[in-house]
Structure 1
């Protein structure tokens, strides 16, 4: 896990559920097969209606239909990100689409744990509502050591909640890699 994450923001609203993140019809793909893994990226956030997602006027698409990777690297979301079903494919889909971090006001517990357990992406929580202060396309920098997010486009910086005890799990690449590293599982 890098201590600095940079990239363009994609802003979503409240209550983005796992069915919106990766619709059920695409769960037939196997993420352990490289050709199928990239399909998760292609269909990530492909069915989020603009009105539900709190997207900017004119709905900025997450990516075009023929792309597998989004031009965005950081999602900024509102409350209850990843709610709905306990589908572990949701953080996989975002990672396959090129997302390195999600910054939300708070998460549905299962999405948060699935993100960490698989080491797919860094789930961070904001101390203030950022969806009203950051625009899709803004250039962002996340400093994990100092728990800050800077909007390079506007020059504003906000404090984030630190990763705490989950940081070593993410640094190891997920729960199983962490367990091997600390001797809980054989190498």
Structure 2
């Protein structure tokens, strides 16, 4: 692998340790991490590709979140459920008044699809702050995603509903 180490804190520490141990070495080998290929692809491109690259199997998503945790990757980007919910609504068309007429401004589906993964990561990682209030917000966010197949694809909607909290 040719990896940008700035995105993965654990590997940055690993390489620093190996350089101190073997100053003349330029290539370092680390053992396998489960779903590392999927994790690296998502870090290099966008989180929404997670839903395309993995099967609709909740265990794989748990493993991916554990891999992110092991690698020290902040899948949320320090965002709360409120930030994620704002990004989920970013795909909606907005209207702006211009010369006495309203002009449609298309929403950002890419941002909304990435927010869907961040929501899922937030739920799986159990990083909801105020448990009762944030759980209700997460539930409402999932209910917001499910009826919009044009923006959120089948796998995204299915895996979000598959979580234990949404039976």
TM range (shorter): under 0.3
Structure number with higher helix proportion: 2
Structure number with higher strand proportion: 1
Higher RCO (CA < 8 A, seq sep 6+):
1
